[in-house]
Amino acid sequence: MKALAVYFSIAALVILGCFAKNNDQVNTNPKSQETSNKTAIAILGGGCFWCTEAVFEKIKGVSEVVSGYAGGKNENPTYKEICTGTTGHAEVIKIVFDPKVVSYEKILEIFGLCHDPTTLNRQGADVGTQYRSTIMYLSEEQKRIAEEWKKKWGDKFVDPAVTEIVKAPIFYKAEEYHQDYYRKNPNQGYCSYVIRPKLKKLNLE
Q: What is the CATH number of the domain that holds 29?
A: 3.30.1060.10
pLDDT tier for residue 55 given thresholds of 50, 70 and 90: very high
Q: How confident is the model over 66-119, as pLDDT tens digits?
A: 999 999 999 999 999 999 999 999 999 999 999 999 999 999 999 999 999 999
Contact 191, 47 (CB under 8 A): no
Average pLDDT of span 151-168: 92
Containing 41, the helix (H) or strand (E) segment is strand 40-46
What is the pLDDT at residue 121? 97
pLDDT at 141 over 90: yes
Whether residue 12 is contained in a domain is answered as: no
Whether residue 155 is contained in a domain is answered as: yes
Whether residue 2 is contained in a domain is answered as: no
Average pLDDT of span 5-16: 36
Q: Closest by alpha carbon to 165, among 184, 144, 179, 185?
A: 144
What is the pLDDT at residue 24? 55
**Core vs surface per residue 134-144: b (16+ CB within 10 A) or e:** bbbbbbeebbe
Number of folded domains that form the chain: 1
What is the pLDDT at residue 26? 55
Whether residue 110 is contained in a domain is answered as: yes
Whether residue 32 is contained in a domain is answered as: yes
Average pLDDT of span 149-161: 89
- How many residues appear in the chain? 205
CA dist 19 and 22 (Å) reads 5
**Core vs surface per residue 160-178: b (16+ CB within 10 A) or e:** ebbbbbeebbbbbbbeeeb
Whether residue 33 is contained in a domain is answered as: yes
The residues assigned a catalytic role are 48
Contact 63, 50 (CB under 8 A): no
Range of the domain at 133: 24-201
What is the pLDDT at residue 101? 97
Whether residue 63 is contained in a domain is answered as: yes
Whether residue 17 is contained in a domain is answered as: no
Average pLDDT of span 194-199: 95
pTM to 2 decimals? 0.83
Q: What mean pLDDT is reported for the chain?
A: 86
Contact 136, 169 (CB under 8 A): yes
